[in-house]
A and B are shown apart, each in its own frame.
Chain A
Amino acid sequence: MPEALLSTHGLNAHYGDFQALFGVDINIHAGEVIAIIGANGAGKTTLMRSITGLLANRPDMVTYRNTPIGALRADQVARTGIAMVPEGRQLFQSLSVEENLIIGGQIGRKGPWELENVFRLFPILKERRAVPSTALSGGQQQMVAIGRALMSNPELILFDEISLGLAPIIIKSIYEVLPDIIGEGMSAVIVEQDIAKALSVADRVYCMQEGRISLEGRSDELTREQISAAYFGV
């Protein structure tokens, strides 16, 4: 196995007195797609917040290209090439669709993703570029959130609860474009409660339970029973 692009090393995370992560170790290699699955409250979002710098950690708990980034602020982490599509889309409501996309690209990393390519990926957004982001449907908002993350030309993109609250048909179409996006040589982490969807796109899977990694393996090698056991702890 080559050197990991991003690793966590015994990552502990706290909200005040409450400890949400206990010694989490994960590795993501260049070009790899990882799924992180687990029930509500298993610590998936906390893990994402720790990686992106929204939660501060000890510097060496998160390393990216062998550089400790655990203690960097989120804006500094973003500049290293990590982008996130946050849970619940989280678009800027005062900004138009186009402005939301532009602000995603404003750190100025060079690469294939720019406004025109995002519009080619999601043509509906070009039509609706001038409307406030709040005027879009949930699925369209998810497209903006994905486009906004792509605009920074990341090397690693994190999708947090990508299908939460969306209609099945929208989820299907979003999963259809995922390979196109990740095909550009990007690495990706997909946080998902829908196990089948996660397994269909990921090379490897981590299952989380109560703040710990309860199972890890290649998507094509894990059995349904193993995953259920790790997911529910039964």
Chain B
Amino acid sequence: MEWINAIVQGVLLGGLYALFAAGLSLIFGVMRLVNIAHGDFIVLAAFLALSTTTALGVNPLLTLVIVVPVMAVIGYVLQRGVLNQTLGDDILPPLLVTFGLSVIIQNGLLEIYSADPQKMNAGAIETASLALPGNLNVGVLPLVMFGVSVAVIAGLQWVFYRSALGRAFRAVSDKQDIAQLMGLNKAHVFGLAMALSLAVVGIAGVFLGIRTSFDPSIGPGRLIFGFEAVIIGGLGNLWGTMIGGIILGVSQNIGAQINPGWQLLAGHIAFLIVLAVKPRGLFPRID
């Protein structure tokens, strides 16, 4: 029973990892940009939520209303102001610049908030749980977060494959020059992609800050989880990313069940096994 419990909790945790990964996957798909600062933006969003909940005295879940649009604006401005200048045939400049951003964000947060771990309290919902058959107890909050993750992935999937914005994303991703001939300004389209990516990061950051304690240094770790979920699932496949997140979450929880020290290691091992057996991920997009 402990094992089933570990797996169920792992699935729910995987939803959060899928949120970490979705924004990463989106911008890689649209503009082949690997955002090394992605994890630090998640932590930045968590701190933004912390400041908002402290200043306004509202439930941290309500800070989504502020954090998500603010992160989206940061994303758009960052893309148009900085990252667009780094994109080109060479993949190194965007890596270096986002690595620099990662350092800047970590140190900026350290300066403002200190290195103390923080945690947001969402109130009664944090301790509420649902009793499932077979002595299983599932927290309401993790369940809600998982539901939101699924909804976000479904929403992104819809945007990408059914909306005019997604059509523009795919067209620019396919052929930048020709998309420009169709009247699409790629600088603007890339800005919108980064805005969407960081909006998802906003949700991920708020959830992270409610679920666990966080401090300015944990960003790179979240980036790794995001990367692993994307690679396990297969590049360019959002539902694959969701499953990648779940596999990662379940492996970590099973590892922790065997020995608490093995939690992270088990996740990395699962990732390496997938990489060795199916280097393009479990569900690569068919091109």
Contacts and interface: CB of A to CB of B under 8 A. Distances in A.
Interface of A: 52-54, 73-75, 78-79, 83-84, 86, 90, 92-95, 99, 102-104, 106-107, 148, 152
Q: Lowest 5 A-B CB distances belong to which pairs?
A: A107-B183, A74-B180, A94-B170, A78-B183, A92-B174
B107 interface: no
Given A78-B183, A79-B183, A103 B171 contact: yes
Given A102-B167, A103-B179, 19 more contacts: A74-B177, A75-B185, A78-B182, A83-B181, A84-B181, A86-B181, A90-B175, A92-B174, A92-B178, A92-B179, A94-B173, A94-B174, A95-B170, A99-B167, A103-B182, A104-B182, A106-B167, A107-B182, A148-B182
Contacts of B167: 95, 99, 102-103, 106
Residue among B164, B174, B179 with max Cβ neighbours from chain A (10 Å) = B174
Contact of A95 (B171, B177, B185, B186): B171
Interface in B171-223: 171, 173-175, 177-186
A79 B185 CA distance: 11
Interface residues of B, number: 19
8 contacts: A54-B180, A73-B185, A74-B177, A75-B184, A92-B174, A93-B287, A94-B174, A107-B182
A104 B164 CA distance: 12
B37 to A, nearest CB: 27
Contacts of B180: 53-54, 73-75, 78
Nearest to A93: B174
B173 A103 contact: no
Task: Report whether over half of chain B's contact residues are helix, strand or loop; otherwise say mixed.
Answer: helix
A154 B268 CA distance: 54
B168 interface: yes
Contacts of B186: 75
B170 A92 contact: yes
A78 B181 contact: yes
Contact of B183 (A90, A92, A152): A152
B174 A74 contact: no
Nearest to A83: B181
A173 B191 CA distance: 42
Interface in B121-175: 164, 167-168, 170-171, 173-175
A83 B182 CA distance: 8
Nearest to A94: B170
A141 to B, nearest CB: 13
Contacts of A103: 167-168, 171, 179, 182, 184
B181 A92 contact: no
A94 B285 CA distance: 11
Contacts of A73: 180, 185
